[in-house]
């Protein structure tokens, strides 16, 4: 599975996809980027006169690049079934700097463990200057969706 195929397999619609490109992925981690477009709807309300990216969106971006993309790579054989997906189960993130509209970020993940279909990663997000914006751990697991 190449980098573009991984992005195409992400289970998110265009308004909730926070991965522009994957730069690198292997069994130990992933690196990718995303630019927060100033047209994203949450900037109108968070905060009114000085918009910043909500922490939950920063966490989601790290989860999509650092956990889900890596999980798709590691589980490429098991995920041929459309009724299977990787979901975030826990996170612990420290936020150090704000992210503003139009800002590009780099996310790096490093696998801590992958066993029993559970993946845990150290993740960090950096800005264009290489400054750490946020960092922590994110975990997720493979789940099967029952027939409807």
Instruction: Indicate the pTM of the whole model.
Output: 0.92
SS3 122: strand
Give the confidence band of 22 by pLDDT, cuts at 50, 70, 90.
Answer: very high
pLDDT for the residue numbered 81:
56
pLDDT at 16 over 70: yes
Alpha-carbon gap, residue 146 to 36, rounded angstroms: 34
Residue of 34, 71, 38, 65 lying closest to 52 (CA atoms):
38
pLDDT for the residue numbered 82:
59
What's the Cα-to-Cα distance from 24 to each of 1, 65, 82, 127, rounded to whole Å? 12, 10, 25, 17
Residue of 42, 136, 66, 55 lying closest to 99 (CA atoms):
55
The domain covering 3-138 belongs, at the CATH homologous superfamily level, to Hotdog Thioesterase (3.10.129.10)
Give residue limits of the domains in the chain.
3-138
Phi-psi region of 116 (alpha: psi -120 to 50; beta: other; left: phi over 0): left
High-pLDDT (> 90) share of the chain, %: 76
pLDDT for the residue numbered 76:
81
pLDDT at 21 over 50: yes
Residue of 7, 105, 112, 97 lying closest to 55 (CA atoms):
97
The token pair at 13 is 């619609």
Residue of 23, 30, 36, 28 lying closest to 101 (CA atoms):
36
pLDDT at 148 over 50: no
At residue 36, what are phi and psi to the nearest 5 degrees?
A: -80, 105
Taking residues 100-111, report their average pLDDT: 98
At residue 55, what are phi and psi to the nearest 5 degrees?
A: -60, -35
pLDDT at 144 over 80: no
Residue with tokens 């400054």: 131
Taking residues 59-76, report their average pLDDT: 93
pLDDT for the residue numbered 1:
76
Give the confidence band of 117 by pLDDT, cuts at 50, 70, 90.
Answer: confident
């Amino acid at each position: 599975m190449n980098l573009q195929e991984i992005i195409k397999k992400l289970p998110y619609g265009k308004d909730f996809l926070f991965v522009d490109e994957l730069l690198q992925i292997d069994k130990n981690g992933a690196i990718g980027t995303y630019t927060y477009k100033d047209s994203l709807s949450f900037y109108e309300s968070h905060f009114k006169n000085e918009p910043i990216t909500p922490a939950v969106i920063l966490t989601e971006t790290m989860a999509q690049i650092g956990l889900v993309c890596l999980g798709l790579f590691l589980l490429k054989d098991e995920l041929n079934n459309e009724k299977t997906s990787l979901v975030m189960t826990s996170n612990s993130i420290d936020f150090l700097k704000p992210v503003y509209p139009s800002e590009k970020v780099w996310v790096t993940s490093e696998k801590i463990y992958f066993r029993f279909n559970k993946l845990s990663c150290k993740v960090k997000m950096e800005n264009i200057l290489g400054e750490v914006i946020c960092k922590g751990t994110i975990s997720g697991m493979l789940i099967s969706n029952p027939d409807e």
